[in-house]
C-alpha cells in the first residue's frame, strides 16, 4: 500500500470514528459536518476530500455498529448449547447491546428515512439487523426441526416488533421501571413466540392428568 493510500485510509478512519463517537454519545441530532470535523480535529472542508456527504459516513457507521453488535451477541452466547435457548439468548443479547448504547438504538430505529438521505443500503441493513445477528441460530433450529419452517417468517417478524417495541418503552419511557423486570418481560414474550416452554406445559398437563387419576382413585376408595 502506497503512502498516499495509507494516509487516505487513516484520514477516513479519523472521520468515521468521530462520527461513531457522536452517534454513540449524543445521537444523530447532534451530527453535522462541522461537529464531525471538530471531533476529528480537522476542518469540515477536509472531510469532503474523503466523503461525498454525511450520509456516506452514516452508512459506514451503521455497518460498523452492526458488526460490533454481532460480536457483542456472539460473546454472550458462544458458551451456550445450540438450539432454541441459544436463539432466545441471541435476541436478549441483541436487546442488551442497545440498552448499553441507546444512541445507537435511536440511530437504528428512531431516525427517519429522510435523515439517511434515502440511502437504501443503510435502510436495508437496519431492517435486517436482528435477523442477520440471529441467522446462524435460525439456520440451526430450522435444520434440526425445532421450529416449523412455515412459521419461521411470522416468528421473525413478531420478534422484530417485540424487540423494537420493548426497547423503545424501556430506553425512552423507563417502562418497565427496572432492568430486571425488562428482561423478565422480554424473556417471557420470547419464550412464548419460540415455544420454549412447551415441554414445561406438557409436563404440567401430565402432572395434572396424574392428579386427576389419583383423585378419582381416592374417591372410589372412599366410597
Which residue has cell 458488526? 67
3 state DSSP class of 102: helix
Name 6's Cβ contacts closer than 8 Å, sequence gap at least 6.
none
Q: What percent of the chain has pLDDT over 70?
A: 87
Q: Is pTM beyond 0.85 here? A: no
Residue 217: which pLDDT band, with cuts at 50, 70 and 90? very low
Topology of 1-51 in CATH?
Arc Repressor Mutant, subunit A (1.10.10)
Residue 205: which pLDDT band, with cuts at 50, 70 and 90? very low
pLDDT of residue 1: 65
Residue 55: which pLDDT band, with cuts at 50, 70 and 90? confident
Q: What is the pLDDT of residues 156-197, one digit of tens each?
A: 999 999 999 999 999 998 899 999 999 999 999 999 999 976
Q: What is the pLDDT of residues 133-147, one digit of tens each?
A: 999 999 999 999 999
Q: Is the CA virtual torsion 7, 37, 120, 52 positive or negative?
A: negative
pLDDT of residue 157: 97
The larger pLDDT score, comparing residue 90 to residue 31, is at 90
CA distance 103 to 161: 19
Q: CATH assignment of 57-222, given 2.40.160, 1.10.10, 1.10.3470, 1.10.357?
A: 1.10.357
pLDDT of residue 10: 94
Helix axes of 120-127 and 54-77: crossing angle, nearest 10 degrees: 20
Rounded mean pLDDT of 6-23?
94
* pLDDT higher than threshold 50 for residue 34: yes
Residue 198: which pLDDT band, with cuts at 50, 70 and 90? low
Name 37's Cβ contacts closer than 8 Å, sequence gap at least 6.
15, 18, 43, 44, 46, 47
Segments making up each domain of the chain, as ranges = 1-51, 57-222
Rounded mean pLDDT of 61-86?
97
Q: What is the pLDDT of residues 87-132, one digit of tens each?
A: 999 999 999 999 999 999 999 999 887 777 657 888 899 999 999 9
Amino acid at each position: 500500500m502506497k503512502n498516499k493510500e495509507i494516509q487516505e485510509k487513516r484520514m477516513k478512519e479519523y472521520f468515521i470514528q468521530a462520527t461513531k463517537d457522536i452517534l454513540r454519545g449524543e445521537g444523530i441530532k447532534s451530527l453535522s459536518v462541522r461537529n464531525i470535523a471538530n471531533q476529528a480535529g480537522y476542518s469540515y472542508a477536509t472531510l469532503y476530500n474523503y466523503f461525498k456527504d454525511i450520509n456516506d459516513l452514516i452508512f459506514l457507521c451503521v455497518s460498523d455498529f452492526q458488526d460490533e453488535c454481532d460480536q457483542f451477541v456472539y460473546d454472550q452466547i458462544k458458551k451456550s448449547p445450540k438450539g432454541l435457548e441459544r436463539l432466545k439468548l441471541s435476541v436478549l443479547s441483541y436487546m442488551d447491546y442497545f440498552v448499553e448504547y441507546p444512541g445507537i438504538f435511536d440511530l437504528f430505529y428512531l431516525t427517519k428515512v429522510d435523515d439517511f438521505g434515502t440511502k437504501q443500503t443503510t435502510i436495508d441493513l437496519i431492517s435486517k439487523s436482528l435477523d442477520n445477528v440471529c441467522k446462524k441460530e435460525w439456520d440451526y433450529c430450522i435444520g434440526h426441526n425445532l421450529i416449523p419452517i412455515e412459521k419461521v417468517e411470522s416468528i421473525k417478524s413478531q420478534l422484530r416488533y417485540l424487540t423494537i417495541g420493548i426497547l423503545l418503552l424501556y430506553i425512552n419511557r423507563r417502562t418497565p421501571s427496572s432492568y430486571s423486570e425488562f428482561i423478565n418481560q422480554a424473556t417471557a414474550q420470547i419464550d412464548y413466540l419460540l415455544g420454549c416452554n412447551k415441554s414445561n406445559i406438557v409436563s404440567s398437563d401430565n402432572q395434572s392428568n396424574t392428579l386427576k387419576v389419583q383423585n378419582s382413585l381416592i374417591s372410589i376408595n372412599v366410597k
